[in-house]
Structures are given as C-alpha cells and as structure tokens.
Amino acid sequence: MKPSEVAVLAGVGPSWYQWLEQGRDISVSPQVLDAVAGVLRLSSAERRHLYRLAGLNPPALEVAPGDLHMCEGLGRLIDHWSPYPAHIMDTYWNLVMANEAATEVLGMHPGLPYNCLIAFFTDPVYRSRAVSWEQVAPLVVAQFRALCAERPGDPGFTYVIEEARRASAEFDALWSRGDVCPGGQMRKELHHPRAGRLQMEATTLQVPARPDLMIVLHMPVPGTGTKAALERVLAGAGAGGAPGSVCSAP
C-alpha cells in the first residue's frame, strides 16, 4: 500500500504521514497511531513499536490468536516442575492453573477464591501457610499496586481492588498506605502441616507471546532441608487434581 493511500484511510495528511515515516519530531496522538496501525493491520508488537517511534508510551501487549495454544505448553511446564510448587496467574492475579505441589504445599485447594490476592487475605488454608503473614502482607499489596500502576484505569484491576477491600479490612488498610514495590522474586517461608517449615524462592516469569499470564515457579532454598521435605510430601500426597486446569483467552 502506498503511503498516500495509508494517509487517506487513516484520516491524516499525506505530508504528515510522510514525516511520521521519516521519524520527524511531530505531534501525534494515540488515536492517530491506532488509526495507522489499523490500516496497516499491525500486530500488537508492531503497534507498540509504532508508539515508541512516535515517542509515546506503548500500549499493553495483546495476545495474538495464534498464541492462545501456548497455555497448554505452559501447563505441561508447571506439571513437570513438581515436586516444586508452580502456578499460573493472569494479569490480575486470578488463578489460572496450579500443579499438584502448589495444591499440596501452598494450599491452592479447589475451593480457593478465584483471585490469589483475595485468597491471601481471606482463605484460612492459603493464609495459614505463610509464616510471618503480617510481615509479608504489606509486600504483597505493594507488588500488586506496582502492577496496577502499569495499567492505569484498567477495569480488571479496579474490580479486584474493590472486591479485596470489601472482603478484608486488613487489605483495605494496607492499600490505603500507597506503598509500591517491584515484583519478580520473593523469599517465602511456609509452614506445612506435615512437612514443617519450608523455605523457598518464588520467581515470576512472563512469556512475551502471552503477556496476559504470569508463571510463578518455586525453588527450595539450598541447605534448608526443604528439597527433601517437598519430595516426601509429594510422594505421599497421591494424585491430586490441580485447580484451574483450563486456560482461556483474556
């Protein structure tokens, strides 16, 4: 398609569009860039690149239809991660999938509230697994606020926050503090009714092609006896069903 044709279809002047292609310092709005991206049928990644070229903050990545199948592979990944806990959450910390170790060790039982943030404050089993819960809770809330800051005005975050504030006065008080902390990795000390004290490192990973999902992998801290304890617990747990076995598009 010729540049002049793109300009007409996008509703901008031919000269202005030519300057955009040349990378000149021009004023441009997100609406105009979205129009250009639509005419050119740009992918989500290409649309973000266009925003960067124009000097604007790029929109959030969207999942391409051809990448939706990846969740099945991610499910196999966390299943093979046993005997270490692993689970998958969406952008809003809604639980999508968990392996048997997460069900047994972290307390992600089938009746768990749909959202991991809300469960952390309201579910007695999930909550009781965290040693020093009162010290961990402010960090959890601060990490969730950091995620919200990346998507201002996102109704999904607004819904979870409102639900959490209604469900837990403790969350409401912590949220009002306004603390922000980057996520990605956290040291966890857990108590399991049969394995005793467990010390693990949790690492959150994202796959660029599935920006709507976060994979949380746990590893035992060396020299703490956690590795052997996890192996014993999972060996005696039997085959347990994992919650959230279906992964859907956002």
Query: What pLDDT is stored for residue 124 in this prediction?
Result: 93
pLDDT at 243: 41
* Distance, CA of 159 to CA of 66 (rounded, Å): 29
What's residue 246's pLDDT? 35
Q: Supply the pLDDT for residue 110.
A: 81
For residue 205, give the nearest of 87, 92, 118 by alpha carbon: 87
Question: What is the rounded average pLDDT of the residues 42-54?
Answer: 71
Query: Angle at which helices 14-22 and 3-10 pack, to 10 degrees?
Result: 120
123 has a pLDDT exceeding 70 = yes
Query: What mean pLDDT do residues 197-222 have?
Result: 92
Q: How far apart (Å, rounded) are the C-alpha atoms in residues 213 and 211?
A: 5
| Neighbouring-strand partners of residue 217 | 86, 203
Our measurement of the distance from residue 159's CA atom to the centroid of its chain's CA atoms, rounded to an integer in Å, reads 16
Q: How confident is the model at residue 250 (pLDDT cuts 50, 70, 90)?
A: very low
Residues 124-168: tens digit of each pLDDT? 999 999 999 999 999 999 999 999 988 888 888 999 999 999 999
Mean pLDDT computed over 32-43: 77
pLDDT at 240: 42
Q: Under the phi-then-psi rule, with left for phi > 0, alpha for psi from -120 to 50, and beta for the rest, what region is 240?
A: beta
Cβ density class 190-224: b for 16+ within 10 Å, e for less? bebeebeebbbebeeeebeebbbbbbbbbbbeeee
Residue 211 scores a pLDDT above 50: yes
**Model pLDDT for residues 87-99, shown as the tens digit of each residue:** 999 889 999 899 9
Kindly state the tokens that stand for 239.
Answer: 């085959």
Other CB atoms within a 10 A radius of the CB of residue 36 amount to 23
Tokens representing 162? 């409102």
Residue with tokens 């809300």: 118
